[in-house]
Amino acid sequence: VLIGGGGIPRVLNVLAEFAGNPVFLETADGELLYAAGPGGDRAADPLQVWEGLRGRPEARHTPPAGTVLVDVPGGGQGAGAVRARLVLPAVDAPPHPVHRMAAERAAGLLAVVLMQARQEEELAARGRGDFLTDLAEGLVSPDDAPAQARLLGFRHGTGPLLPVVMRLSPASGTWAPLAHTVLEELSAVGVPVLLGVRPVEGRVPVLVGLRAAADRDTVADRVATALRTGVERAGLDRAGARPPVVVVGRACDWNTLPASLRHAGETATAAQGLTDRPWYDARRLDIELLLWRLRDDPDLAAFVDRALGPLRDHDTTARPPLLPTLETYLSHTGRKAETARELHLNRQTLYNRLARISELLGTDLDDPQSVLTLSLALRARRHLLS
């Protein structure tokens, strides 16, 4: 599994499936790094099992009878130092001797990987990312979510919750510097934060605790800045990659959080390729999300072709291309002075281009219905090309 690039989470999943019980990787101090379960409809949720086993301080040093504990060496000084610990409890069935053997072998592999890549922070961030993703997909009930979030380090009172999702191009390598830097940056914000990573999807879900709904925009600014700083420091903003997109959902409570978190995640995907801004409000991108969901519908492609086909054909053979002029003009809602300034054109040149666009499309750029049609077609075209 490791040679194939599966990483530590996949190793723990294999061990959990083999043992038929949840498996936990914790720090030497008893803090949860990652939880894996055997799967199946009747399998207990690993985080709920963890809360029962180790969630209470008095339970951390007195595991139930039958629990297999295996040290993962390599931290600190000395041959006996412990970097982490594998915990294999007797939940569905008592572990057999072969399960202890498997855990000991797995611990040896994990020790080598942790020493080489120092994956502790990334593991914890992946575990939080799995939790937030499961929450968004309805696999964690709103009643259970607060307790599970507390186990993962989210200390929040009764104020609103703010979901934030960053989307960037999937990248190889460790995401630990990203998680570390973002948490370091956000510590100055003074609000509870639960940050996860999903490297395969290139997604960073974040849950923020607000004191009041009025703090939303101020906190969103700080969170977006921290996320972008983390991407830079982690070296994930490689040349040729799309710039990261940060989308902020609506302030909500635990009952409405799954839908708001899911909406922010989908919108972050739909927003890739938009003009770069510090962050986007998910509530203002519903048209983008709708068009993204329709991107495989042949009717959408036909609509774009009818609206923009003559202009697209012109740009394949003639210069200057006119699609960028139309896009800039519509983005400034028809304000010619601002359009000319952004395109570095004098006004007469812009007027000539707009006249040519109207001629090719057979439409009036001052007609509100035509402007709406062209704006939607340009937005849809971006999703068809992505």
Are 337 and 237 members of one domain?
no
pLDDT digits (tens, 9 = 90+) for 267-292: 999 998 787 789 999 999 999 999 99
CATH assignment of the domain containing 127: 3.30.70
- Report the CATH number at residue 96: 3.30.450.40
Estimate to the nearest angstrom the gap between the alpha carbon of 220 and the chain centroid: 15
Q: Is residue 160 located within the same domain as residue 238?
A: yes
Do 140 and 45 share a structural domain?
Answer: no
pLDDT at 172 over 70: no
322 belongs to a structural domain:
yes
pLDDT of residue 265: 95
Shared domain for 369 and 335, answered yes or no, is yes
Provide the edge-to-edge strand list for the sheet that holds 32-36: 32-36, 23-27, 82-88, 68-73
Cis peptide before 320 (omega within 30 of 0): yes
pLDDT over 90 (residue 355):
yes
CATH code where residue 354 lies: 1.10.10.2840
The rounded percent of the chain whose pLDDT value lies above 70 is 89
Name the packing angle between helices 336-343 and 347-361 (round to 10°). Answer: 100
Residues 127 and 248 in one domain: yes
Structural domain that includes position 164: 123-293
The total domain count for the chain is 3
pLDDT for the residue 249: 96
Domain termination residue (choose one: 293, 311, 337): 293
Tell me the pLDDT tens digit for each residue of 103-147: 999 998 888 777 665 566 777 888 899 999 999 999 999 999 999
At 230, the pLDDT band (50, 70, 90 cuts) reads confident
Report in angstroms the alpha-carbon separations of 130 from 140, 197, 243, 250.
11, 8, 24, 21
Do both 170 and 304 map to the same domain? no
* Position 144 in a domain: yes
pLDDT of residue 1: 82
Q: Is residue 2 part of a domain?
A: no
Q: DSSP characters for 170-193? A: --SS--HHHHHHHHHHHTTTTS-E
Residue pair 381/315 in contact (Cβ under 8 Å)? The answer is: no
**Do 39 and 73 have their domain in common?**
yes
> Pick from 80, 73, 75: which is nearest to 106 by CA?
73
Mark which of 97, 117, 137 sits at the end of a domain.
117
Statement to judge: residues 154 and 217 lie in one domain: yes
Looking at every residue in the chain, the average pLDDT score rounds to: 86
Question: What's the pLDDT band for 174 if we cut at 50, 70, 90?
Answer: low
Strands of 161-167's sheet, edge to edge? 193-195, 203-209, 161-167, 245-248, 280-281
Q: Is the pLDDT of residue 65 over 80?
A: no
Name the more confident of 34 and 216: 216
Same domain, 96 and 80: yes
pTM confidence score: 0.72
Same domain, 111 and 30: yes
Residues 315 and 168 both lie in one domain: no
Tell me the pLDDT tens digit for each residue of 17-28: 999 999 999 887
Domain for residue 140, yes or no? yes
Asked if residues 89 and 67 have their Cβ atoms less than 8 Å apart, the reply is yes
pLDDT, position 171: 62
Last residue of a domain, one of 85, 117, 149: 117
pLDDT (average), residues 311-321: 92
How do 32-36 and 280-281 pair as beta strands? unpaired
Same domain, 283 and 303: no
